[in-house]
Amino acid sequence: MTARLADIAAQAGVSEATVSRVLNGKPGVAAATRQSVLAALDVLGYERPVRLRRRSAGLVGLITPELENPIFPALAQVIGQALTRQGYTPVLATQTPGGSTEDELTEMLVDRGVAGIIFVSGLHADTTADMGRYEQLRAQGVPFVLVDGFSPKVRAPFISPDDRAAMRLAVTHLSSLGHTRIGLALGPRRFVPVQRKIEGFTLSMRERFRLSPEEIETRFVQHSLYTLEGGQAAAAALLDRGCTAVVCASDMMALGAIRAARERDLQVPDDVSVVGFDDSVLIAFTDPPLTTIRKPVPAMGQAAVRTLLEEIGGTPAPHSEFVFMPELVVRGSTASCRPSGA
């Protein structure tokens, strides 16, 4: 082993310690140096360790948190089609309650020699998660791109919608209809997209209604789960506080908000206006058709693939965030606020 390390080190022009770090997948080695060591292995006829073998199978991993929310299959379809056009085969890995974790799915994909991985709404979006897992992945030489949720602790390209702008669009629309008591229903606070939506919502409410951040937070923001039931529970709490309009952080939550209104014999949009987020498939055909903030899924998915292929090709994209502008789609779930409820 010592002779082997010495040979590889001499061929690559680096120290034996550096060779050891590369072979063991340790962090702290520049990408160019790592490639020199791997090239030296090939030149000297040594077999690369399994996790370091040339990633030429044309497989690209896509890890999503779940598939119940229609926005994730939609994004997976865009990414899959874009990869296929470039000659790669997408491998979809989905987390399920009680099933494989993101780390386990990542390990499985790496063991299969994927050329790279796209993470959608993964642990990178959770401010309480350990971001060291991504540095370990980088140390293994696996290119990756992160969608939805930015962390300054991770050196990688990020693809995000402008969540703050999305809330400005929603509040502007509802206030133009005469609503002054506008609620926001969203997921747990620890997630980056949630924090950004709160920032955009709070700023817009302050500018339009001269409310304090504390009042906005206590009266008009309700955390729950990103599910129909979660939206129903959050909207119920906001309606009990007198809100005449509810902005939801997903279309699924918005459907729950409509259910909560109907439980109280309130009509949407006559009594309560509801705005969703995503513009999922079939959401235009609900009763009533849902006004929503359209996430730019095609642009985001294509950008994620383009950025990953640049990483795979050896011309890494900037380790920064690419932010895409959402769009307000007005349908039948929002209307002018009744004078008595203004």
Which CATH number belongs to the domain containing residue 17 in this structure?
Answer: 1.10.260.40
The answer on 319 and 235 residing in a single domain is: no
Is 28 a residue whose pLDDT tops 80?
no
What is the mean predicted confidence (pLDDT) over 187-192? 96
Non-local CB neighbours of 25 within 8 Å, separated by 6+ positions: 51, 52, 136, 139, 140
Q: Would you say residue 56 has pLDDT above 50? A: no
**Residues 190 and 332 placed together within one structural domain of the fold:** yes
pLDDT in the model for residue 237 = 98
Give mean pLDDT, residues 200-220.
95
Higher-confidence residue of 56 and 243: namely: 243
**pLDDT (0 to 100) of residue 341:** 42
Same domain for 273 and 307?
no
Q: Please, which residues have CB within 8 angstroms of residue 324's CB and are 6 or more apart in sequence?
A: 159, 160, 161, 162, 296, 299, 300, 303
> What mean pLDDT is reported for the chain?
90
Q: Identify whether residues 21 and 137 lie together within a single domain.
A: no
Say whether pLDDT at 246 is over 90. Answer: yes
Query: Which of 17, 35, 52 is a domain's end point?
Result: 52
Phi (first) and psi of residue 226, to 5 degrees:
-80, 60
Same domain, 34 and 124: no
What does the pLDDT read at residue 89? 87
Give the pLDDT of residue 53.
55
Asked whether residue 180 falls in the same domain as residue 267, the answer is yes
Residue span of the structural domain in which 199 resides: 163-295+328-341
Q: For residue range 146-183, what is the model confidence (pLDDT) as tens digits?
A: 999 999 999 899 999 999 999 999 999 999 999 999 99
Cis status, amide bond into 269, omega within 30 of 0:
yes
Across 140-147, average pLDDT = 93
CATH code, 311:
3.40.50.2300
Angle between helices 71-85 and 297-312 (to 10 degrees): 40
CA-based nearest residue to 249, from 278, 209, 271, 290? 278
Last residue of a domain, one of 52, 71, 88: 52
Do 315 and 333 fall within a single domain? Answer: no
Q: What is the pTM of this model?
A: 0.81
**Predicted local distance difference test score (pLDDT) of residue 55:** 46
Q: Which two tokens stand for residue 17?
A: 């310690």
What is the tens place of the pLDDT at every residue in 36-51?
888 888 788 787 776 6
Three-state DSSP state, 280: coil
Mean pLDDT on 252-267: 96
Instruction: State the pLDDT at residue 279.
Output: 94
- What is the rounded average pLDDT of the residues 66-79? 90
Q: Pick the more confident residue, 88 or 274.
A: 274
Whether 185 and 240 share a structural domain: yes
Residues 122, 253: one domain?
no
Same domain, 40 and 174: no
Q: pLDDT tens digits, residue range 265-287?
A: 999 999 999 999 999 888 889 99
Q: What is the pLDDT of residue 30?
A: 81
Give bridge partners of residue 221 from the DSSP assignment.
Answer: 184
- Same domain? For 40 and 127 the reply is no
Burial label for 333, CB within 10 Å (0-12, 13-18, 19+), is buried
Residues 87-94 have a mean pLDDT of 89
All residues at 6 or more sequence positions from 109 whose CB lies less than 8 Å from its CB, including other chains? 59, 61, 63, 91, 93, 117
DSSP labels for 72-109? HHHHHHHHHHHHHHTT-EEEEEE--TTS--HHHHHHHH
Q: Which long-range contacts (CB under 8 A, 24 or more apart) does 71-78 make?
A: 71/250, 71/251, 71/278, 71/280, 71/295, 71/297, 72/120, 72/121, 73/281, 74/280, 74/281, 74/297, 75/120, 75/147, 75/297, 75/300, 75/301, 76/120, 78/297, 78/298, 78/300, 78/301, 78/302
Q: Do residues 69 and 191 both lie within one domain?
A: no
Does residue 54 register a pLDDT over 90?
no
Percent of the chain topping pLDDT 70: 96
- Residue 61 in contact with residue 117, Cβ under 8 Å? yes
Domain count, the chain: 3
> Within a 10 A sphere around the Cβ of 231, how many other Cβ atoms?
32
Q: What is the CA radius of gyration of the chain?
A: 24
